[in-house]
């Protein structure tokens, strides 16, 4: 039972996170702790049996102890959303679907608010509407300007959606007023050029959000939570200045909101706000400035992913509640584990976006790189119950990279006897290399999680052991899982054996010296990471078993031109520049003729490209590599042959699977991860494949 309402004061004092586990009294209702699961679109509502699946997904998070859940955005009417996101709440049939969700959450002792989201000009929808007919830079559709009656109709839709939400059993609603969506578009001069009573003065621009909140409150009564998500930093030109944010916040409070949530950055902003390269809790300072004048609880958010971090934010007094969204994809049991002082068992969100946001932008359902069962709860439950405990196998896993670790821990949790081997001195495989890239420090957390899971599930771990097939044939094992990973691809050109030609492993793992002018061959994820690493010349020793150092928030904000003084419109200084000049001259090359880095993640690739451009890295496409000699790298681009005068060449040209153990193996075996297929392999596929194989045994 994780109901903290009755925990005595001394009980809270004894917790490692006393502030996080303080209940919050809203008068008519109490939240059992200060953790909110923030709104995330998952694509479940549009899927077959989507609401049953969504009910299992939200139910699992409620069971995991979170104080309050906010659903993914639900449209007040279909035109207010993108064509592929048409889940609205406007009929009794839809209300019944939502009942499945609210019942599942309440059964677990949780509380849930429905987010009402009108996408305005961001809706990928030819019928999209907005205050003014100004297309967003990230959308092909120019919105239709709403008439006065049209504006009133939209306000009415918000109110009706809230009324439906109440009837469907929700504990409240969150009005989405940030991120550059419809309501935000009325507030900012950038998108509101109206001259009627809905545009011009601040009083006119905020009339719509205030009317929405007033209307909802009038309709739903006092015993229903209204959260308003307020854009505290727009991070776009002609966005709202913070002085206006304060006025809007006060008006929203007066209109009847119970809680103000923090929104950071419009979707079209060219400043990272949630990617892994953003320091933890990089934006709570702005919630703190808002909270100083607020009379109702304030929620802060963005890149808070551990109970320690959340407690620190509360202790500083930056906010009254902490919103975490992706951390609940990574681990539904986050809150329970924190409350039981088992934070080291939390599967931490590493901020990669690879299986959550990137999936949605690719039109797929969301899941999670570190938890491939996220949003597949109904399927996962079946794999847990079908297993026959009498059929426990004795399994050897070779390779303790992400694929092997995922398989080993999941298989052992199902009762199999699992022994894992690795030739390295520590678990983690390539993640030990990835975690040294500036901005990828979070990868450490995944290794900490797996290390603990190996212990908890009783996996026998044998490090510093390069396994041979004879060893595996000795009769000890019923099955062998080969998770031996990959070998870097070498380049078959003249001069490739020169001492100044290095593989990415030579640079990142073995710390071989690198010159000042460097050609990087191959512009995939690893080519970009090597460039980032070489720019900073940090050459860190592997940070091993220690938690990563927190990066400086001041450096981050200065680097991206975020106005911490809050005096500029949109809170942008216009003066963002890298805080450390590049230490090297880098050339990043690919054979393809398209944009360099085009295959990087949809929601993070632009950050990597921008970072390298800002540091003066020269990106070249359409390259044919001819040879490497004393002069440097000889290459041909189109018809032109030239020499790139570099002192080091680093090869990042992909990988080949390492399958050397297959030959001579007489025990049944399965290949997973890079050892199975190296092309296009990433940790998302490696972990998923490991988990699914374990679930099938």
Catalog residues that contact ligand SF4 under the rule CB under 6 A. 326, 329-330, 349-356, 368-370
Q: Which of ligand NAP, ligand FAD, ligand SF4, none does residue 654 bind (CB under 5 to 8 Å by kind)?
A: ligand NAP
- Phi and psi at 17, nearest 5°, equal -130, 65
Question: Minimal distance in Å, beta carbon 147 to ligand NAP?
Answer: 45
Dihedral (Cα; 406, 411, 414, 417), 10-degree rounding: -140
Residue nearer to ligand FAD on the CB measure, 94 or 366: 366
Binding residues among 466-505 for ligand NAP as defined by CB under 6 A: 489, 491
Q: Which of ligand SF4, ligand FAD, ligand NAP, none does residue 404 bind (CB under 5 to 8 Å by kind)?
A: ligand FAD
Residue nearer to ligand NAP on the CB measure, 215 or 402: 402
> CA 639 to CA 213: how far, in whole Å?
64
Residues contacting 376, CB < 8 A, separation 6+: 53, 367
Q: Does 650 bind ligand FAD (CB under 6 A)?
A: no
Q: Does 683 bind ligand FAD (CB under 6 A)?
A: yes
Question: Minimal distance in Å, beta carbon 302 to ligand SF4?
Answer: 12
Q: How many residues does the chain have?
A: 697
Question: Minimal distance in Å, beta carbon 491 to ligand FAD?
Answer: 17
Q: Which of ligand FAD, ligand SF4, ligand NAP, none does residue 601 bind (CB under 5 to 8 Å by kind)?
A: ligand NAP
The DSSP secondary-structure symbol of 475 reads S
Residue nearer to ligand SF4 on the CB measure, 98 or 303: 303
Q: For the chain, how far is it from start to end, CA to CA, in angstroms?
A: 32
Q: Does 412 bind ligand FAD (CB under 6 A)?
A: no
Residue nearer to ligand NAP on the CB measure, 166 or 609: 609
Stretch that binds ligand FAD, among 142-150, 356-364, 402-410, 556-564 (CB under 6 A): 402-410
The residue among 621, 602, 457, 445 whose CA lies nearest residue 527 is: 621
- Other CB atoms within a 10 A radius of the CB of residue 127 amount to 12
Helix H or strand E segment including 174: strand 172-177
* Position among 277, 354, 367, 571 found at the interface with ligand FAD (CB under 6 A): 354
Q: Which of ligand NAP, ligand SF4, ligand FAD, none does residue 483 bind (CB under 5 to 8 Å by kind)?
A: ligand FAD
> CA 354 to CA 602: how far, in whole Å?
8
Q: Which of ligand FAD, ligand SF4, ligand NAP, none does residue 355 bind (CB under 5 to 8 Å by kind)?
A: ligand SF4
Question: Minimal distance in Å, beta carbon 58 to ligand SF4?
Answer: 16
The residue among 267, 171, 269, 149 whose CA lies nearest residue 572 is: 269
Residue nearer to ligand SF4 on the CB measure, 102 or 353: 353
Q: Does 658 bind ligand FAD (CB under 6 A)?
A: yes
Burial (CB count <10 Å: 0-12, 13-18, 19+), residue 621: middle
Strand 486-488 to strand 655-657: parallel, antiparallel, or no bridges (unpaired)? antiparallel
CB-based contact 521:625 (threshold 8 Å): yes
CB-based contact 260:252 (threshold 8 Å): yes
Q: Which of ligand SF4, ligand FAD, ligand NAP, none does residue 686 bind (CB under 5 to 8 Å by kind)?
A: ligand FAD
Residues contacting 365, CB < 8 A, separation 6+: 42, 43, 44, 47, 359, 375
> CA 223 to CA 171: how far, in whole Å?
9
Binding residues among 562-601 for ligand NAP as defined by CB under 6 A: 590-592, 601
Binding residues among 331-350 for ligand FAD as defined by CB under 6 A: none
Q: Does 611 bind ligand NAP (CB under 6 A)?
A: no
Residue nearer to ligand NAP on the CB measure, 268 or 442: 442
> CA 536 to CA 523: how far, in whole Å?
18
List C-alpha distances in Å: 563 to 188, 235, 242, 573: 17, 9, 10, 5
CB-based contact 419:395 (threshold 8 Å): yes
Question: Minimal distance in Å, beta carbon 333 to ligand FAD?
Answer: 23
Q: Does 397 bind ligand NAP (CB under 6 A)?
A: no
The DSSP secondary-structure symbol of 582 reads -
Instruction: Please pick, among 17, 181, 228, 504, the residue that the annotation labels catalytic.
Output: 181
Residues contacting 103, CB < 8 A, separation 6+: 55, 169
The token pair at 690 is 């490991």
The token pair at 560 is 């991206």
Q: Which of ligand NAP, ligand SF4, ligand FAD, none does residue 330 bind (CB under 5 to 8 Å by kind)?
A: ligand SF4
Q: Which of ligand SF4, ligand NAP, ligand FAD, none does residue 527 bind (CB under 5 to 8 Å by kind)?
A: ligand NAP
Q: Does 527 bind ligand NAP (CB under 6 A)?
A: yes
Question: Minimal distance in Å, beta carbon 502 to ligand FAD?
Answer: 14
Stretch that binds ligand FAD, among 18-26, 132-140, 202-210, 422-430 (CB under 6 A): 422-430
CB-based contact 261:252 (threshold 8 Å): no
Residue with tokens 């451009």: 613
* Position among 105, 212, 433, 653 found at the interface with ligand NAP (CB under 6 A): 653
Q: Does 437 bind ligand FAD (CB under 6 A)?
A: yes
SS3 sequence, 590-612?
CCCCCCCCCCCCCCCHHHHHHHH
Q: Strand 501-503: give its sheet, edge to edge.
A: 501-503, 648-651, 517-521, 585-589, 618-620
Burial (CB count <10 Å: 0-12, 13-18, 19+), residue 415: middle
Binding residues among 519-548 for ligand FAD as defined by CB under 6 A: 525-526, 529
Residue nearer to ligand FAD on the CB measure, 31 or 366: 366
* Position among 8, 92, 363, 680 found at the interface with ligand NAP (CB under 6 A): 680
> CA 227 to CA 229: how far, in whole Å?
6
The DSSP secondary-structure symbol of 551 reads P
Residue nearer to ligand SF4 on the CB measure, 188 or 687: 687
* Position among 136, 521, 644, 661 found at the interface with ligand NAP (CB under 6 A): 521
3-state DSSP helix/strand/coil percent for the chain, to nearest 5?
35, 15, 50
State yes or no: is 181 an active-site residue.
yes
Q: Does 451 bind ligand FAD (CB under 6 A)?
A: no
Q: What is the x/- site pattern for ligand FAD, positions 608-647, by CB under 6 A?
A: ----------------------------------------
Interface residues with ligand NAP (CB under 6 A)? 354, 489, 491, 521-527, 529, 590-592, 601, 652-655, 680-682
Residues labelled catalytic: 181
Interface residues with ligand FAD (CB under 6 A)? 352, 354, 398-404, 421-424, 429-431, 433-434, 437, 466-467, 483-486, 508, 525-526, 529, 658, 661, 673-675, 681-684, 686
């Amino acid at each position: 039972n994780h109901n903290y309402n009755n925990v005595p004061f001394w009980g809270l004092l004894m917790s490692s996170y006393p502030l996080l586990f303080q209940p919050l009294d809203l008068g008519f209702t109490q939240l059992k702790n200060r953790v909110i699961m923030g709104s995330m679109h998952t694509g479940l509502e549009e899927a077959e049996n989507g609401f049953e699946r969504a009910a299992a997904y939200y139910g699992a998070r409620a069971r995991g102890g979170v104080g309050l859940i906010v659903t993914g955005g639900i449209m007040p009417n279909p035109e207010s959303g993108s064509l592929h996101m048409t889940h609205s709440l406007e009929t009794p049939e839809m209300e019944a679907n939502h009942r499945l969700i609210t019942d599942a959450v309440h059964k677990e002792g949780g509380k849930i608010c429905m987010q009402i989201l009108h996408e305005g000009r961001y809706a990928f929808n030819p019928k999209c509407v907005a205050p003014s007919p100004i297309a967003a830079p990230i959308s092909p559709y120019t919105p239709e300007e709403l008439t006065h009656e049209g504006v009133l109709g939209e306000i009415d839709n918000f109110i009706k959606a809230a009324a439906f939400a109440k009837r469907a059993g929700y504990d409240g609603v969150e009005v989405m007023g940030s991120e550059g969506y419809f309501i935000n578009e009325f507030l900012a001069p950038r998108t509101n050029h109206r001259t009627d009573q809905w545009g011009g003065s601040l009083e006119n621009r905020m009339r719509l959000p205030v009317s929405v909140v007033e209307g909802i409150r009038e309709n739903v009564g006092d015993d229903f939570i209204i959260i308003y998500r307020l854009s505290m930093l727009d991070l776009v030109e002609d966005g709202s200045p913070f002085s206006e944010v304060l006025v809007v916040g006060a008006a929203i409070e007066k209109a009847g909101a119970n809680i103000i949530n923090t929104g950071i950055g419009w979707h079209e902003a060219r400043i990272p706000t949630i990617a892994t390269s953003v320091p933890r809790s990089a934006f709570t300072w702005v919630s703190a400035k808002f909270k100083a004048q607020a009379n109702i609880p304030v929620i802060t958010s963005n890149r808070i992913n551990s109970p320690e971090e959340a407690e620190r934010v509360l202790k500083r007094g930056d906010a009254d509640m902490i919103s975490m969204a992706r951390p609940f994809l990574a681990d539904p049991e986050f809150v329970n584990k924190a409350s039981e002082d088992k934070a080291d068992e939390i599967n931490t969100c590493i901020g990669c976006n690879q299986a959550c946001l990137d999936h949605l932008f690719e039109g797929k359902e969301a899941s999670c790189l570190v938890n491939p069962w996220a949003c597949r709860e109904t399927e996962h439950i079946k794999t847990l119950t079908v297993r026959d405990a009498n059929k426990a196998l004795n399994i050897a896993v070779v390779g303790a990279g992400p694929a092997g670790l995922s398989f080993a821990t999941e298989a052992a949790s199902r009762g199999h006897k699992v022994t894992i081997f690795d030739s390295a001195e520590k678990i983690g495989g390539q993640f030990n290399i990835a975690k040294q890239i500036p901005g990828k420090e979070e990868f450490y957390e995944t290794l900490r999680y797996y290390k603990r899971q190996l212990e908890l599930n009783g996996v026998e771990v044998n490090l510093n052991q390069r396994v041979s097939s004879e060893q595996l044939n000795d009769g000890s094992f019923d099955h062998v899982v080969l998770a031996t990973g990959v070998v870097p691809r070498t380049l078959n050109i003249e001069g490739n054996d020169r001492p100044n030609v290095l593989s990415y492993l030579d640079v990142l793992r073995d710390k071989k010296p690198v010159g000042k002018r460097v050609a990087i061959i191959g512009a995939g994820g690893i080519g970009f990471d090597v460039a980032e690493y070489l720019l900073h010349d940090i050459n860190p020793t592997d940070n091993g078993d220690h938690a990563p150092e927190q990066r400086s928030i001041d450096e981050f904000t200065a680097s991206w031109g975020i106005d911490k003084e809050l005096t500029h419109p949109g809170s942008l200084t216009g003066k963002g520049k890298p805080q450390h000049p590049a230490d090297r001259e880098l050339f990043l090359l690919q054979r393809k003729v398209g944009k360099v880095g085009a295959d990087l993640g949809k929601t993070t690739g632009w950050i990597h490209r921008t970072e390298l451009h800002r540091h003066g890295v020269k990106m070249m496409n359409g390259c044919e590599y001819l040879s490497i000699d004393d002069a440097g790298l000889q290459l041909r681009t189109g018809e032109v042959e030239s020499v790139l005068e570099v002192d080091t060449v680093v090869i990042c040209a992909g990988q080949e699977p390492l399958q050397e153990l297959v030959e001579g193996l007489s025990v049944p075996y399965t290949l997973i991860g890079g050892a199975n297929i190296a092309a296009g392999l990433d940790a998302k596929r490696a972990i998923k494949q490991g988990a699914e194989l374990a679930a099938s045994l």
